[in-house]
A = this chain, B = another copy of it.
Amino acid sequence: MTYGKVFEGLRAYCPQAWKDYTCHDFVKGLGDGSLPHEAFLTYLRQDYVFLIHFSRAWALAVTKAGNLEEMKAASAIVHGLIHEEMQLHVGICAEAGISLEELEKTVELPQNMLYTRYVLEAGYSGDFLDMMAALAPCVMGYGEIGSLLDQSATSKTYREWIDTYGCSEYQDLCAELGSLIDKAVITRLGENYQDTGRWQTLLQHFETATRLESNFWGMAFDAKDSA
């Protein structure tokens, strides 16, 4: 499964940062079940707040889209996030013993705030491509992690999480988004997009967002009191 040519180029620019993110101890812990439950709960709580701002960022991508096809793709993601994924998330949290009331009281941790505000600001100050570069690490990274764990996980503890991102439906979404990004970049910057200054900016957004993903895992992993 490939997530497109542009994504390959972005990932190839920062292999270490990408590895730090996708092979983080948090990820390993999801696969072998060694992740402390408390760390997973902290992650779930923070992810609830994250999803709100992530949805806002995708909505901004609708506003900044260059054509109807881009608008449709981004608005489908917004709708999926707000009307389905957040509902699903509330369900998973409930199973894990976190009520909706508790979720809504979650205090946003700095690492969480840093990530979403970085993406939103990059979007507001930049254009649709800047948004795609800053949003890709989350969407595609989870796809890669899900796909990897789907095959390699040795524990069933976090199987539900793994299935969410390893399933063919999510993999298809990543492939479709990858294809949309390829088209978006080539249409705007040409086939030789890698020779432009815009590409350098996109690389920077991608790398920064990738580092902020690692930072997010670290936040959940390290949290002492997640109550």
A interface residues, Cβ below 8 angstroms from B: 52, 55-57, 59-60, 62-66, 68, 71-72, 74-76, 78-79, 82-83, 86, 110-111, 113-114, 117-118, 120-121, 124-127, 130, 187-190, 192, 195-198, 201, 215
Q: Closest CB of chain B to A2's CB: distance in Å?
A: 23
Known: A120-B124, A189-B198. A63 touches B71 (CB 8 A): no
Most B-side CB within 10 Å, residue of A60, A75, A187: A75
This chain's copy number in the assembly: 4
With the chains together, A79 CA to B80 CA distance in Å? Answer: 10
Are the CB atoms of B68 and A79 closer together than 8 Å? Answer: no
With the chains together, A127 CA to B124 CA distance in Å? Answer: 9
A-B contact pairs, 16 of them (CB 8 A): A52-B71, A55-B62, A56-B71, A59-B59, A60-B63, A62-B78, A71-B82, A75-B75, A78-B78, A79-B79, A114-B114, A117-B120, A120-B121, A121-B121, A124-B124, A196-B196
With the chains together, A198 CA to B125 CA distance in Å? Answer: 17
Partner of A76, one of B74, B83, B192, B198: B83
Chain B contacts for A127, CB-based, 8 A: 125-127, 130
Are the CB atoms of B52 and A59 closer together than 8 Å? Answer: no
Partner of A75, one of B57, B60, B63, B78: B78
Minimal Cβ-Cβ distance residue in B for A64: B125
Chain B contacts for A111, CB-based, 8 A: 110
Q: Closest CB of chain B to A3's CB: distance in Å?
A: 22
